[in-house]
Structure 1
Amino acid sequence: MVTKPILTGERIVLRPITVDDAAAMFASLSDEESMRLTGTQQTFSFEQVQQHCQRVSQADDRVDYAITLKDDPAYLGEVVLNEIDWQNRSASFRIALASETLFGKGYGTEATQLIVTFGFHTLRLHRIELEVYDFNPRAQHVYEKVGFVREGMRRDVLLWNGRYQSAIIMSILEDEYADKEMC
């Protein structure tokens, strides 16, 4: 079982997701802008969300964290390292804030920095990768600020409101992170 300690930043705390987060996670699925930015097209029942929370809390190939404020344990979103390949020391990254009202406050940047640090320092990963849709320049800027490098593009992977969108592939390697950390 992967150890999932609480990660504390300046303003936020990342704590492992539990089944108790299911209600807030389910409510976040009604935020249209969050769904657009993550490319979430399917719908989920509350029971499916509960099962997901239960499953990820016990998984060995991923770490799922709830984003909370230091002074308030309420779920603001999630940040995840998943598809962990222990042999090749790599993982995929994703983040979702629960509501558009949380955008632009720095929570996503701080959560990204905390989970990337955890990935390299604690999980001993070599590579963390992500995909971000081409219509999300704000997220692209955050990822670049943290040290992710653009690798390429998957063209026309998402059909949203009658238009195809592409996904930009980005990654950060442990030595790039170490160099960034030294600055």
Structure 2
Amino acid sequence: MTVFSHKPTLTGDLVVLRPLTEDDVPALLPLFEDAEVSRLTGNHTRFDEAALRKWYGSRSAQDDRLDLAVVERATGRVVGEVVLNEWDEQNASCSFRTVFVPDAVGRGLGTEATRLIVGHGFEALGLYRIHLEVYAFNPRARRAYEKAGFRAEGVLRGALLWEGERVDATVMSVLAPEWAAGQAVGQAAG
């Protein structure tokens, strides 16, 4: 059994993170149909509903990654997903990614969802490092990651070719000791 075999439900004030299923596809379709979401995530791939149902239907069987739906508590609606993947067992690290439907951004849902899954990664799974890449044309996402404790490590110059233009990606990470220190500060302030 690997650290990602268990698919938890994590509850915050604004969102609940729970295992993804193929039944979530209709709510998530706007992610794959919206040109701006595709640009911000650097996604060149077009998906059809059948392929998405197969993908999301297989998430619970994956023991090398954790894919969770983001459910807005106020409405009960699935508004996005958070993922810990690219697990490196020897170094206790993994990658993080998240994406939201267009009408769910700007309300703190992403910041809370990020904090919940990152906290789970460090506190329950024993990870040491969680990393991500964010494109230069996505400053809103970068701010959300910074609020969750991620720090810039460097720039992958020209990492994405988008509509004929090269776009840089900033590599960011948060380490377990930084997370623990940030949580201690937050508890002392609260």
**TM-score range for the pair, normalised by the shorter chain length:** over 0.9
Q: CA deviation at 1:179?
A: 0.7
Count of matched residue pairs: 182
Instruction: Provide the alpha-carbon RMSD of the alignment.
Output: 1.2
- Whether 2:46 is the aligned partner of 1:38: answer no
Q: Is the 8 A contact 1:25 1:49 kept in 2?
A: no
Q: Secondary structure at the match of 2:172?
A: strand
Q: List structure 1 segments (4+ residues) > 4 angstroms apart after TM superposition.
A: none
CA distance in 1, matches of 2:73, 2:81: 15
In structure 2, how many angstroms separate the alpha carbons of the residues matched to 1:165 and 1:48? 28
1:75 match: 78
Which residue of 3, 12, 26 maps to 1:23? Answer: 26
Offset, 1:27:
3.5
Report sequence identity in percent: 46
Aligned partners of 2:83 and 2:96 also within 8 Å: yes
Counterpart check, 1:151 vs 2:153: yes
Q: Which amino acid aligns with 2:100?
A: L
Distance 1:27 1:137, change over 3 A: closer
State the secondary structure of the residue aligned to 2:8: coil
TM (normalized to structure 2)? Answer: 0.91
> Could you state the TM-score of these two structures normalised by the residue count of structure 1?
0.95
- 3-state SS, counterpart of residue 53 of structure 2: helix
1:126-145, Cα deviation, whole Å (9 max, x unpaired): 00000000111111111111
Match of 1:113 in 2: 115
Contact 2:7 2:60 in 1 (8 A): no
Question: Any unmatched runs of 5+ in structure 1?
Answer: none
Partner SS for 2:16: strand
Structure 1 residue identity aligned to 2:139: P
Give the alignment of 1:80-119 within 5 angstroms: 80-99=83-102, 101-119=103-121
Equivalent of residue 9 in structure 2, options 3, 6, 10: 6
| Residue 56 of structure 2 corresponds to residue 58 of structure 1 | no
Structure 2 residue ranges without an equivalent (≥5): 186-190
Structure 1 counterpart of 2:188: none
Bigger Cα displacement from structure 2, 69-78 vs 29-38: 69-78
